[in-house]
Structure formats: C-alpha cells, structure tokens
Structure 1
C-alpha cells in the first residue's frame, strides 16, 4: 500500500516529512521542542512554513477514526484541537510497515497541565483548572460526545482572563451520538473521577501538589462542579404563573455561565397554577459571539466577558449610552484596545495573546490605581506592566519564528 495523506492539509511540505522513519527517531532539525503531556503514543511537534503541527503515531484504524471525530467536534465548534490529516501506508527503509500518524494543528498559547503546574501548584490555580475541565466535559456531553477517557492528561489549557479554557486533545476513545445517554454520561464521570484521582496521586508522589490538597477531594470536586453546571443547564424549573421574571433570571444565569438559550419550553403543571420551564441551551460562547459580532475579535469566553465589560465602561465614560452598539465598539477598538496592545514593544507581544495581554494590563491598572488612590490611566499602566511584569513572563506562543 503506497503512502497516503488524507485530510485538508494546507502545507504540501507535510508530504516531504520523513514518514519512512519511526517518529521517535525523527531528526532534531525537523522538530520543535514544546511542552508535552503524558501520552500512550509517541507525539512530536514539527514546524513547517511558520506553522507548528502535532504528530501522533497510532494504528491506521484509530488514526482514521480520531481524525473524523476531531473533525466532527470542530464542525460543532467544540473546544478540541483542529485535525489536519492522517497518514497511512508508511513503510520503513527496511520494508517493514510503520504505524499510521495523525496530524493536528498545534494549539497556540496552550500548555499541558504539568506545564501549568510546574513547581508546587497552589489550590486556587488547581481550582481554575478543574473548573475548565468540568466545563469542557459538560460542553462535550451537550453535543452528544462520549469521551471515555476524560483526564487532565488528555487536555490542553489556555489562559482565559483569570481562568483557564480546556481543549480536548485525545479523542481516541470517543463516540459522537445525536444525544448522549444517561449511562454514557455517568460512565464518563466515573472515568474522570478515577483518572483525576490517579493523576493527583502521581503529582503528590512527585512533590508537585500543595500539602493542603487532598487527591480524593480533588477528584470528588470535579464531579461536583460538573453536576452543578449540568443541572443549571438542563434541569426543569417550576415557577408560579405570576413569576415570569424568574424566566428572565434563569436566562441571565445561563448567560453568565457563557451559554446562550435557543428557546424555552413552558408548560402548565397539571392541576396547579404553576409552570414548568425547560431551557434549550446552545453551546457556550455567549460573550465570545457578542464580542466577535461587534469587534471581529475571536477570543476565549472569559476574555470576551472582560473586554465587553471594558467596552461597556467606555460607553458610560464617554456618554455613549444611546449610541449604536456597533459604533461604540468600533471606537473602543480603535481608541482603547488597539493602542494598548500596540504600546507593548513588538518583540514582547508574542508572549501572550492580545486579549490576555489587554486583560492583564487592566488588572495591573486596577492594582496601581488602588495603591495610588486614583486612576493612573491606561498609558501609565501599560508602561509599568511591561517593565515590571511582562518582561519576566515566559513566551507562551507556540508559533516559532523562522529565524529560530
């Protein structure tokens, strides 16, 4: 069987990679050194034409299957790595067959959990990671995806304002259905509990877990977070007929969690004057979609929430409450967001995404203003942030320039 690359590759140089050599023996000049999570398969990162690709060696059956699952998740706008192609028909120089390979686009600014946890992890950082994992699992289940192997090792994390956003990396054991069954959902939660408990024990043994953190409590807490969010998104609510404002409150709570409501089913409870309300929730990204529509900025959900808050403050500060929202957004983008990002030296902008950079400048401005007892202004905050904070941050961008 001849070498075959199937998918939507945008770079013809992918075919020129040394597919006749086992991945673990690829020459160093072909590879990029990036933080890697724990994987049962050999995974390497290759840079071609300014893009970084993650390549995983795997059997043909699973390479083909995982590519299609990741493509389906991408089509559903679910947080997962983007599939590029899979390679079959690999043969070594000695004529022996080699495993197939799955190629995905490396997620910029993302880190495996062990890189986030470098050094002894603090409880609040761990809590933010666990929140992100719970949200990811809920989003997958809402889309009918049974994971089968939920764990921190199968996730990449990106900074999202003061929190993290989680992305699925390994869909090898997954299944996509029109709707997930209750049995599949519960089994996924049980697997998540087992895997997380094991990962926490592993961190504890390596001295990477704060003494105050109990591994079993961590595993329990993820399940609790999941159940609380799932209940808020899917449970019926019984209200009195006169309490219609509670429906609006429910929608606002769901929006605050980042979810939009496509429609509401309201029916009368037999024999009473009460109504049963059931929301039909669409996927997360309420603030993302609003910011994208207004400004064209495509960012994480919490970053979008923070940027929208600043946009709303700009509207109030400049007396633009009655102005068209799109016009206000255009002014904010041109007068606040872009000048702030451009005030950072070009060689340092690559350290963080623009939205995360803007969020951290706003935080720094708030702390400086608290200390000074008055607003120090954005320009002063940017200069101080660059000099005292950004200069010491590691470069989180995965895209490595051609001259490196």
Structure 2
C-alpha cells in the first residue's frame, strides 16, 4: 500500500486494515462489498462486511470526515439517535502513488432502512405521514440540544420500525453545527424550511416515478412536518399558567410529556404575586421515558413505542395474575422469562433476520388481537404465535440487512442534491 495510512478511531477494529484502502472506493471488488438499499448522495458510499457486521464507507475530504466523526460522537453522548461513527481514515494512496480521498467509516444501523426501501411498490399517504412525524420528533430532539442540521431530509435519515410507527435516526451530520447556548428561533425556522422543501422534493420525485400513491400530496405532507414539529416543540418547551387551586395540572403536564416519550430533568415552577397563579415550564427534556423504564425493569433495549407496548403487556400480565402488590422488578423478570423470551426463542432460525425481537413481539400482540376479534374470543398466545410465524413473519423480507442488487456509482456534479444518505450511492435516475 502506497502512502502512510492513518486510522483515527475510539475503538479501532484490526479488521479495518484488511479492506482494500489502496483502491478507489468505486473500484472495490465485489467480495468486499455488502449490497444494501440505496438512496441518493453526492458522496460515494460503499458498504463492507467487517467482523460480523456491516459498515458504511464514505469518501470525502479529511477535514469533513474528521468534523463529521467528532459531531456524531458528540450527538451520541447527548443521547441523540444517530449512526455510530467508527473511524476516519486518511493518507490513502494507490500502489502507483496517486492520492486517494479520505473516508468516514460508520456502523450500519441494523433493522434500519432508508425511506425509499420502506415500501415495496408505492408509498401510501399514511406511511409517508408516519415518516414525516418521526423526522419531526428527531428534529425537535436535535434542536433541544442546540444542533442546527442544515440539511434536513428523509434521505438523510434512517428509519426503524417502532411498534407500528417509525423511529428516525440521523445519518449525515456533515452540515450540522452544535450551539451550546441553544438555537435561536430563526435558526429553528431555517431548519424547518429546509425540511419542508427537501421533503416536498423527495416525495414529488417518488410521485413522478410512479412510486407514490396517487392520493399522496407531497406539498401537504411536507407542510405536515412543520405542524408536527411546532405542536411537539410547544408541548415540550412552552410555559403554562393556571390558578394555584389547579395544581393537579402540574402532574398532568408531566404525564403528557411522558406519554410523548420524554422525561423532565428540570421543571421551573413560579408563583405570581399574591399566590393566585402558577406558571410551569419544562427547562430540560430528555426523550426515552418508556425505553429507560423497560431497560431498568427487564434489560431490554428497544424503541420508545416498542417499550410502551411491551410495558403495557407487562401491566396486563400483572393485572391478570393478581401481582399488583409484588415488587415491579420481580414481576418484570417473571414476565420476561415466561412471556417475552419464549416468544423470541420460538422464532425459527431462518426467520430471525426478518424483524428485531421487540417488533416481532409487538406485531404478535397485534396479530393476536385481530384473531381474537374475528373469533369473538381470546386466542391463546401459543396459537397466535404459530399463526403469526406462518401467515405473517415468514412472508416478510429480512430487515436486519436488507439486500438489494449492487449498483455502480454514478459521477454526480458538485451542484447535485446532497442528501448525504449513509445507505446511498446512486442518483435520481436510478429511482424513477
């Protein structure tokens, strides 16, 4: 290998040295490539198998690779859903001495998909709405910690199924900047406008290629992220005033925030002169209320909606078995061993890549409910599980790493749309 290869990584994997860094990324041999669903990107991106998992390798400049690597690590420390940065590699060169671009290496997020891979034929309006809502939640979380994205789009986001909804993960932090003092309203509105325009363009592209339902209105849906964002932002950060005789509204506000999946780290409560009114305002909010409760009780690390659904089943188990007076952690461990784990173990080995375990359990509960409703009687869990495996799960595609035919990268002009999708190496023509 020509040149001096430099690898910057917090947890360096020696297997990184086995990848063909002396070759341009576009020329990597097929045995080094893992084919995954693609979106669009200005940068050349390839997927590679590494130590039993898949990594995304993006060619860029050394400065941009280091900047994005540092930013992703910072966002992880702030508990923001994003891809895991593994390494920055500089000093690449061919055997003939030609310099090669630096790369950023990130871990592929298992069971995640770019938005274009979330539908097999046409994107339905309700699916598009759920994607936009998930992106709105992610954008609010980013703005709360003071992160200005600068390139908000569906293509810059990965989505994981989360109990009937979607959870959004930031993929590309190249244009982002963190402001410790928080964002101004103008900065937040700028990000919102970028999101609205980009989402409208992405959905119009799908519609033009016959990949969207005819009832899907790209402009209406893109405006939806603005409405969803503002509603959530107000609920999380807005102040509320009420009579001192209505102190129950403090608890009500906390419960509403918990229902949205957020914990309150600090709550400012001010009493007006004379003690006639009380004003409350969440000072710092953190997402993942149900996730943390489920993790504490069972050790299961799931999506927020999945956690809420599993906790509901745990509560039902407690009520059905008359265990309300027993320590919650003890009963949770019993539920884990007697209910959740047997379901996971019953999934045939060849089907385990279809969905992650928490999503399987959620879908099983949904399937059991529909069977019981049709029969007008309770269906035993074991019977529902057998039906779900054979009639539903067996016919799903794998989402641990969804394989798609490999596509050669196309040279894009510098003024091409930069969606920065970690899962992408193609242009608009491949998608229509």
Q: TM-score, normalised by structure 1?
A: 0.97
Counterpart-to-counterpart distance in 1, 2:197 and 2:126: 22
Query: Please, which of 198, 201, 204 is the counterpart of residue 201 of structure 1?
Result: 204
Would you say 1:175 and 2:180 are equivalent positions? no
C-alpha distance in structure 2 between counterparts of 1:206 and 1:272, whole Å: 62
Tell me what 2:27 maps to: 25
| 8 A contact 2:112–2:158 mirrored in 1 | yes
Asked if 2 retains the 8 angstrom alpha-carbon contact of 1:340 and 1:378, the reply is no
Q: Which residue of 1 aligns with 2:299?
A: 296
Corresponding residue of 2:421: none
Structure 1 residues without counterparts, runs of 5 or longer = none
- 1:16 paired residue among 15, 18, 42: 18
Distance 2:283 2:342 in 1: 40
Check whether the contact 1:315–1:328 (CA below 8 A) recurs between aligned residues.
yes
How does 1:90-239 map onto structure 2 within 5 Å? 90-178=92-180, 179-239=182-242
Q: Is the 1:259–1:281 contact (alpha carbons within 8 Å) kept by the matching residues of 2?
A: no
SS of equivalent to 2:245: coil
How many angstroms apart in 2 are the aligned matches of 1:398 and 1:143?
Answer: 31
Task: Determine which of 377, 383, 391 is the counterpart of 1:388.
Answer: 391
How many residues in Structure 1 have an aligned counterpart in Structure 2? 400
2:246 partner SS? coil
CA distance in 1, matches of 2:328, 2:228: 35
- Larger relative CO (CA 8 A, sep 6+): 1 or 2? 2
C-alpha contact (below 8 Å) 2:271/2:279 kept by paired residues: yes
Q: CA deviation at 1:93?
A: 2.8
2:64 match: 62
Aligned: 1:362 with 2:365: yes
Residues 9 and 22 of structure 1, relative CA distance in 2, 3 Å threshold: farther
Matched-pair contact (CA < 8 Å) for 1:60–1:99: yes
Say yes or no: does 1:247 pair with 2:262: no
Rounded Cα–Cα distance in structure 2 between residues aligned with 1:39 and 1:270: 57
Assess, with a 3 A threshold, how the Cα gap between structure 1 residues 10 and 362 changes in structure 2: closer, same or farther: farther
Contact persistence 2:12–2:87 (CA under 8 A): no
Structure 1 range deviating more: 8-17 or 229-238: 8-17
Instruction: Report how far residue 291 of structure 1 moved.
Output: 0.2
Q: Which residue of 2 aligns with 1:339?
A: 342
The separation in 1 between residues aligned to 2:119 and 2:96, in whole angstroms, is: 42
Task: Find runs of 4+ consecutive structure 1 residues off by over 4 angstroms.
Answer: none
Change beyond 3 A, Cα 1:9–1:399: farther
2:265–2:286 CA contact under 8 A, matched in 1: no
2:22/2:93 contact within 8 Å kept = yes
Q: How far does residue 270 in structure 1 lie from its aligned partner after superposition? A: 4.6
Preserved CA contact (<8 Å) 2:242 2:279 = yes
CA deviation profile, 1:230-255 (whole Å, cap 9, x unmatched): 01000000111000001111000000
Post-superposition shift, 1:10? 4.3
| Aligned partner (choices 6, 9, 34) of residue 7 of structure 1 | 9
- Distance in 2 (alpha carbons) for counterparts of 1:128 and 1:220: 13
Q: Quote the Cα distance in structure 2 between the aligned partners of 1:223 and 1:81.
A: 25
Bigger shift: 231-240 or 93-102? 93-102
How far off is 1:272 after superposition? Answer: 7.2
Matched, 1:318 2:321: yes
* Structure 1 CA distance for aligned equivalents of residues 225 and 167 of structure 2: 15
Report SS of the residue matched to 2:172: coil
> 2:353 aligns to what?
350
